[in-house]
């Protein structure tokens, strides 16, 4: 057993990371599908061990209903706090988060945008402070609203997004149970690494990327995370223009060339963003060894089946 992570030595990654954790200048936020956490090919574990400036957030599917709220974010380094208060059409909304010895304490006012979605990202309701109520009752306007210049300008200095899951309880009558799933601070200079129709190559981005959001899961799971978290649309989308075949290809089917694992995507994106490559290639070596272990396990299982 590994003394650091308490995992069996044959699957432990701690001893395979041969260099100290990299102090990456571009922050990485991984939105990891909740079903990927215990997968043997969880390349997010490599990123967690190999990169210092990294945050991993577990994201679950919406099985009944989920609520979101978004607050603009302005930093105040002198007070050690993050907060904002914006006034639009006479309505104020604010968010205040102060760092202390125990972590962060938060106080929330009314959100700039609040919305509710159901399975597969279907928007059932949303509210904001820009239009008369009669103008935003139609949920079909939600995507257009969320990517409007007014919203993008208001969130250009960063924002905080929180998600609550509503679970349906069946005790003879219809009731719901609300639980907070995550709260994420998205700093200025953030971009999403996801090959959507509007994604551009990293060399085409018109600002300095300081934080990169990456989705972790199979392609089907990653698409579901994207569809069920429409707040991701307020950020510029980046794509990698690579024809490389993923190292995953030996044990997992990839849709086409250029469809890479999470750790491969992070490494190649950081390189294109100017991050020093010293140490980044070691993370790919560790991932290759992980894939090799998984391939051997698969071959052993197949051999046992053929002999039985």
- At residue 239, the pLDDT reads 93
Name the more confident of 203 and 251: 203
C-alpha distance from residue 45 to each of 25, 37, 39, 160, 257 (Å): 19, 9, 10, 25, 24
Query: Among 134-143, 223-232, 241-250, 257-266, where is mean pLDDT lowest?
Result: 134-143
- At residue 233, the pLDDT reads 93
Tens-place pLDDT, residues 1-60? 444 444 544 444 544 555 568 999 999 999 999 998 887 668 899 999 999 999 999 999
- At residue 89, the pLDDT reads 36
Domain boundaries, the chain: 1-28+42-57+189-298, 63-188
- At residue 102, the pLDDT reads 41
- At residue 50, the pLDDT reads 92
Rounded to an integer, the average pLDDT of 193-206 is: 92
- At residue 130, the pLDDT reads 57
- At residue 136, the pLDDT reads 44
CA atoms within 13 Å, Cβ hemisphere of 243: 0
- At residue 10, the pLDDT reads 47
Name the more confident of 251 and 278: 278
- At residue 27, the pLDDT reads 96
- At residue 142, the pLDDT reads 82
Name the more confident of 99 and 118: 118
Confidence at 166, pLDDT banded by 50, 70, 90: confident
pTM for this model (two decimals): 0.77
First to last CA, the chain: 31
3-state SS of the chain is CCCCCCCCCCCCCHHHCCCCCECCCCEEEEEEEHHHCCCCCCCHHHHHHHECCEEEEEECCCCCEEEEEEEECEEECCCCEEEEEEEECCEEEEEEEEEECCEEEEEECCCCEEEEEEHHHEEEEEEECCCCHHHCCCHHHHHHHHCCHHHHHHCCCCEEEEEEEEEEEECCCEEEEEEEEEEEEECCCEEEECCCCCCEEHHHCCCCCCEEEEEECCHHHHHHHHHCCHHHHHCCEEECCCCCCCHHHHCCCCCCCCCCCHHHHHHHHHHHCCCCCCCHHHHHHHHHHHHHHHHHHHHHHHHHHHHC
Written as six digits, the tokens of 284 are 């790919």
Confidence at 132, pLDDT banded by 50, 70, 90: very low
Please determine, for residue 138, whether its predicted confidence score (pLDDT) is greater than 80: no
Residue 155 Rama label (left phi>0; alpha psi -120 to 50; beta): alpha
- At residue 76, the pLDDT reads 42
Q: What is the dihedral of CA 7, 12, 15, 18, to 10 degrees?
A: -140
Please determine, for residue 208, whether its predicted confidence score (pLDDT) is greater than 80: yes
Tens-place pLDDT, residues 280-300? 988 988 888 877 666 666 555
Rounded to an integer, the average pLDDT of 238-257 is: 64
Chain-wide mean pLDDT for the chain?
75
Name the more confident of 213 and 20: 213
Rounded to an integer, the average pLDDT of 121-144 is: 65
């Amino acid at each position: 057993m590994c003394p650091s992570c308490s995992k069996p030595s044959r699957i432990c990654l701690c001893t395979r990371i041969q260099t100290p954790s990299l102090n990456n200048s571009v922050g990485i936020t991984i939105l990891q599908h909740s079903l990927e956490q215990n997968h043997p090919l969880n390349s997010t574990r490599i990123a967690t061990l190999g990169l210092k400036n990294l945050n991993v957030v577990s994201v679950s599917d919406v099985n009944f209903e989920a609520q979101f709220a978004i607050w603009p974010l302005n930093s105040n380094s002198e007070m050690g706090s993050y907060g904002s208060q914006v006034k639009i059409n006479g309505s104020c909304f604010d968010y205040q988060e102060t760092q202390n010895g125990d972590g962060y304490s938060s106080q929330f006012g009314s959100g700039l945008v609040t919305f509710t979605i159901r399975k597969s990202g279907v928007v059932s309701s949303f509210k904001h402070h820009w239009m008369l109520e009669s103008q935003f009752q139609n949920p079909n306007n939600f995507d257009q609203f969320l990517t409007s210049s007014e919203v993008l300008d208001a969130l250009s200095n960063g924002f905080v997004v929180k998600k609550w899951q509503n679970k349906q309880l069946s005790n003879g009558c219809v009731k719901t149970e609300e639980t907070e799933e995550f709260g994420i601070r998205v700093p200025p200079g953030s971009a999403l690494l996801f090959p959507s129709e509007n994604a551009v190559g990293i060399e085409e981005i018109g600002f300095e990327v300081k934080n990169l959001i990456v989705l972790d899961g199979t392609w089907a799971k990653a698409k579901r995370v994207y569809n069920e978290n429409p707040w991701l649309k307020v950020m510029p989308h980046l794509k990698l223009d690579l024809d490389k075949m993923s190292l995953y290809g030996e044990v997992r089917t990839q849709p086409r060339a250029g469809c890479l694992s999470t750790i491969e995507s992070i490494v190649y994106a950081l390189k294109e963003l100017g991050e020093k490559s010293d140490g980044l290639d070691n993370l790919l070596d560790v991932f290759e060894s992980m894939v090799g272990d998984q391939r051997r396990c698969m071959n052993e299982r197949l051999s046992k089946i053929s002999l039985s």
